[in-house]
Amino acid sequence: MRVVVFQGQYGLFKKEGLDLSMPAIQTCLGLYAVSEQHDYLLCAHFDSDIGLQQNLREIKNTLEAKNINMSSLKATVFGGDGKQSYVRCSPPSSHIGNDIVSFIKAQGGSAEYSNEYYSGVIPKTFNFHYQKGCGISEGQNPKDFSGASQQAMNLAKQRMRLRPAEYTLAHAKMVDVSRLY
């Protein structure tokens, strides 16, 4: 199954047969998490700290609906704080990554944050990809966007019309795109 997760979106997907990419266009941080006890991959694409705790609770609820506890997750949060990330995000953005890690750890999960890969509108953006394993590459490749749900793409385009600094709480609400794939 081909899946593309854009900024402001998250999803929980069965790993078997999954071909997923999470390309940064102008976003800040990515999250991926695997559970050794379950055959699922969680991906989330954060672009604001507005409503962050509410978004994290929604993600937790999505996991729990599939009988997955955050305590079973091994999560990696990446991106932000590179020079180019300031074009899109309010500096500094590492606090967003650290807040996400703290939330997951408070739920008993394992999480780490790295700003090795950052996002921006100039090259050296990240793309998380999953196909029989997790990886992060730099730069944009048109194939990273292929196979996206049209509805997920339209939601991302609407979100990108505003800078995160212009978001209201309603704009910052992340969308679960699991059902679109």
pLDDT in tens, 5-43: 998 999 999 999 999 998 877 657 889 999 878 999 999
The tokens for 84 are: 């180019």
Predicted confidence at residue 123, as pLDDT, reads 47
Predicted confidence at residue 71, as pLDDT, reads 95
Residue 91: asked if its preceding bond is cis (omega within 30°), the reply is: no
Predicted confidence at residue 152, as pLDDT, reads 96
pLDDT in tens, 76-116: 998 776 554 555 555 557 788 899 999 999 999 999 998 76
pLDDT in tens, 48-61: 889 999 999 999 99
Predicted confidence at residue 60, as pLDDT, reads 98
pLDDT in tens, 114-153: 876 655 445 456 678 788 888 877 766 778 888 899 999 9
The tokens for 88 are: 């899109």
Determine the Cα–Cα distance for residues 58 and 181; give it in Å rounded to an integer.
Answer: 19
CA–CA distances in Å: residue 112 to residues 31, 152, 153, 157: 10, 27, 29, 29
Determine the Cα–Cα distance for residues 16 and 62; give it in Å rounded to an integer.
Answer: 19
Residue 12's domain comprises: 2-180
Structurally, the chain folds into a number of domains equal to 1
**pLDDT level of residue 160 (50, 70, 90 thresholds):** confident
Predicted confidence at residue 31, as pLDDT, reads 93
The tokens for 100 are: 């996400």
Look up the CATH number of the domain holding residue 16.
3.30.1330
